A = this chain, B = another copy of it.
Amino acid sequence: MNGRCVITVGDLGEFGVVARIAGRLPQGGTVLLGPGDDAAVVSAPDARVVVTTDLLLEGRHFRRDWSSGYDIGRKAAAQNLSDVAAMGAHPTAIVVGLGLPAGAATGWLDDLTDGFRDECHLVGASVAGGDITRSDLVVISVTALGDLGGRPPVTRSGARAGDVVAVAGRLGYAAAGLALLGARPTEPTGPTTPTTPTGPTTPTELAELAELIDAHRRPAPPYARGPQAAVLGATAMLDVSDGLVQDLGHVAAASGVALLLEAEAFTVPPVMREAARLTGTDPLEWVLAGGEDHALAATFPAGLDLPEGWTVVGRAAGGAGVQVNGVSLDRGGWDHFRE
C-alpha cells in the first residue's frame, strides 16, 4: 500500500486485479463459460454473431476528473451495446481490455467494473471476459456481441427513396452537457450542479442543467428500439455516435439516396434552450451535430405506423447527401483525426 492507505492496482498485481474484477461480475444465461480461461464461450443461438468494438482513451474519450469510474464503465459499455442494437440485434456479452495505471485505486476499478456490469444488465448481457495490462493512462477497449434472432441485420445501405427517416432516443444532450463542462474546465468532479459563466440560474434550473451533464457522462441508448425497428421492417439503421447529420451521411452514401430532414420535427427541450443561452450556442447545432447520445436513426417504408419512441424527422429521396430544410450539410460531426 502507498502512504495514503489507498489500495492500488499495483498493490494487487495482475492476477489479484483479474480476480477482483471477475468477483464482481455475475454471468447471465448467455455466457456459457465466463472469465478465467483463455477465452469465453457465449451463446449464439442464431448461428451468427454480431460483433463490434471500440477503443476509448483517457483524455480523449473521457476524463477521470469529469466522470466517475462508474460512469466511464457505463458509457464504454453503452456505446458498444448500442452498436449491436443498431443492427437490430440483442446484445449477449461484452469483453473488455483495460490498460490501468499502477497507481489507480482499486475502489475506482470496482466502480468501473460495476459500470460495465450494470449497463450490460440493462440489456440482459454480461461481461464475459477481458484482459488487463499496465498503462500510463487508462485505456478501455470494449467488444460487444449480439444475436439477431433469425432476422437479417439492418445495415446502412437499405434506405430507399420514399422511406421516412425516424430517430429514437436523446439527441444533443451529451453535446450540451459537454459544453457546460467545458465552461468550467478547471473544476474537479463533484455534485453535478455546475456554476455557469454567463449568469445566475435558479436551483431548479441548475438541477435541470445537471441532467445534460449526466447525459454527457452516461448516455441512455434506446436499446430495445433496435430489435423493434428490425421487426417493424426498418430498411436502414445506425447508432448516432458522431452526430446525426454526419452519421446519416453514411446511410445516404451507402444507400445511394438523399436524406431530407426538417428542423421543426426535432424536439428541443427547454433545458437545452437554457444551456444554449448560457453558452451562446444554437441548440439545434447540438441536436444535429452533437455526438455520444447513441440515439438510433433509421429509415422505414412510408406509411408505417411507428410506435411511441420513434419521431419522424424527414424522408429519403433520390439524390445524395443530407439536407436540413433544403440546405446541404456536408459536415457536422466528429472526425477523430481532425478536431
Interface residues of A (CB under 8 A from B): 9-10, 12-15, 17, 32-33, 36-57, 60-61, 83-84, 86-87, 89, 93, 95-99, 102, 128-135, 139, 141, 143-146, 148, 153, 155-156, 237-239, 254, 335-338
Tell me if B54 and A155 are in contact (CB < 8 A): no
The one of B14, B41, B51, B99 that contacts A93, using a Cβ cutoff of 8 Å: B51
What CA separation (Å) do A150 and B167 show in the bound complex?
Answer: 41
Tell me if A53 and B143 are in contact (CB < 8 A): yes
What CA separation (Å) do A143 and B33 show in the bound complex?
Answer: 16
The one of B52, B56, B128 that contacts A39, using a Cβ cutoff of 8 Å: B52
Write the chain B residue with the least CB distance to A32: B48
Chain B residues near A337: list those with CB within 8 A: 9-10, 12-14, 17, 102, 134
Tell me if A99 and B39 are in contact (CB < 8 A): no
With both chains docked as a complex, state the minimum distance between the C-beta of A45 and any C-beta of chain B, in angstroms. Answer: 6
Interface centre among A48, A86, A254 (most CB of B within 10 A): A48
Chain B residues near A84: list those with CB within 8 A: 38-39
Interface centre among A43, A141, A144 (most CB of B within 10 A): A141
What CA separation (Å) do A231 and B35 show in the bound complex?
Answer: 24
With both chains docked as a complex, state the minimum distance between the C-beta of A60 and any C-beta of chain B, in angstroms. Answer: 7
Chain B residues near A50: list those with CB within 8 A: 39-41
Contacts A97-B141, A134-B337, A143-B143 hold; do A48 and B42 have CB atoms under 8 A apart? yes
Tell me if A55 and B87 are in contact (CB < 8 A): no
With both chains docked as a complex, state the minimum distance between the C-beta of A237 and any C-beta of chain B, in angstroms. Answer: 8
Q: Can you spell out 29 A-B residue pairs with CB atoms less than 8 angstroms apart?
A: A9-B337, A13-B337, A14-B335, A32-B48, A36-B156, A37-B87, A37-B155, A39-B50, A39-B51, A39-B87, A39-B89, A39-B146, A41-B153, A43-B47, A44-B48, A44-B49, A45-B47, A51-B95, A51-B129, A52-B95, A53-B95, A53-B131, A53-B143, A55-B98, A60-B135, A61-B133, A95-B143, A133-B336, A139-B139
